[in-house]
């Protein structure tokens, strides 16, 4: 949490797109970060216990774009005061400098989205502020475990998940973090981040935005 030092990885000369990955423990936040960077840089959980206990930042280049990825702990696992949670969330934003292009909320697409999970999202949203909705993308993980059409699944989703998708302006991406070839998932993510950046700032100085 805020008292702990974040883990920094490779420190590059700036990035074109920054991603902050949030969500419930075990939903595949760290695995998604690895998929984005295309290498195993973040520790993945094996058992029932929480793996990521402090924020971790890593950078890399994919599809000609310099990417920064911020992996986060699940705040609901940390029994700390609200003001400390506020500090933690503001640290995530700072670490994603110059600012997150997209915030990826990991949601497993193979199991039911629960009110408890919605509460985790609601709490982060409250701490983050109104900027979150502009950058929110639902990252459906465990895509390899879902053989039904995700669009049909979303139509039949409960109120909570529908609300999250509404906040995200229906931006979503399905991740199969077990796939060995993940170029298509990453290029889709970069396309979404580019759209968000174009709509929220003038960033034509970045090669990826032209």
Ligand X SMILES: Nc1nc2c(ncn2[C@@H]2O[C@H](COP(=O)(O)OP(=O)(O)OP(=O)(O)O)[C@@H](O)[C@H]2O)c(=O)[nH]1
CB 164, CB 133: distance < 8 Å = no
Q: DSSP string spanning 111-147?
A: SPPPHHHHHHHHHHHHHH-THHHHHEEEEEE-GGG--
- Output 43 or 154, the one with its CB closest to Mg ion: 43
Site membership for ligand X, residue 150 (CB under 6 A):
no
Site membership for ligand X, residue 145 (CB under 6 A):
yes
In the complex, minimum distance from the CB of residue 62 to ligand X, in angstroms, rounded to a whole number: 18
Helix then strand then coil, % of the chain, to nearest 5? 40, 20, 40
CB 2, CB 193: distance < 8 Å = no
C-alpha span between 122 and 16 (Å, rounded): 28
Segments of the chain assigned E as strands: 7-8, 17-23, 56-62, 65-71, 102-108, 136-141, 172-174
| Binding-site member from 15, 17, 18, 30 for ligand X (CB under 6 A) | 30
- Output 28 or 100, the one with its CB closest to ligand X: 28
Q: Which stretch binds ligand X (CB under 6 A): 40-48, 78-86, 129-137, 199-207?
A: 40-48
Site membership for ligand X, residue 59 (CB under 6 A):
no
Residues that bind Mg ion (CB under 5 A): 29-30, 51-52
Site membership for ligand X, residue 29 (CB under 6 A):
yes
Site membership for ligand X, residue 27 (CB under 6 A):
yes
In the complex, minimum distance from the CB of residue 197 to Mg ion, in angstroms, rounded to a whole number: 26
112 phi, psi to nearest 5 deg = -65, 140
CB 178, CB 144: distance < 8 Å = yes
Site residues for ligand X, 173-192, by CB under 6 A, read: 175-178
Site membership for ligand X, residue 76 (CB under 6 A):
no
Applying CB under 6 A, which residues contact ligand X?
25-31, 44-46, 50-52, 74, 141-145, 175-178
């Amino acid at each position: 949490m805020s008292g702990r030092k974040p883990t920094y990885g490779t420190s590059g000369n700036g990035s074109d797109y920054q991603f902050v990955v949030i969500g419930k423990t075990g939903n595949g936040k760290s695995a998604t970060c690895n998929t984005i960077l295309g290498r195993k840089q973040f520790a993945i959980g094996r058992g029932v216990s929480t793996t990521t206990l402090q924020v971790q930042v890593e950078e890399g280049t994919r599809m000609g774009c310099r990417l920064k990825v911020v992996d986060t702990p699940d705040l609901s696992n940390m029994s700390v005061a609200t003001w400390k949670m506020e500090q933690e969330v503001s640290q995530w934003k700072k670490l994603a400098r110059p600012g997150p292009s997209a915030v990826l909320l990991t949601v497993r697409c193979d199991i039911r989205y629960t009110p408890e999970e919605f509460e985790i999202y609601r709490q982060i949203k409250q701490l983050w502020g109104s900027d979150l909705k502009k950058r929110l993308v639902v990252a459906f993980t465990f895509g390899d475990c879902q053989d039904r059409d995700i669009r049909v699944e979303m139509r039949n989703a409960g109120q909570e998940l529908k609300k999250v998708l509404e906040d995200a302006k229906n931006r979503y991406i399905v991740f199969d973090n077990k796939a060995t070839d993940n170029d298509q998932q990453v290029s889709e993510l970069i396309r979404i981040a580019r759209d968000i950046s174009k709509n929220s700032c003038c960033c034509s100085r970045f090669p990826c935005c032209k």
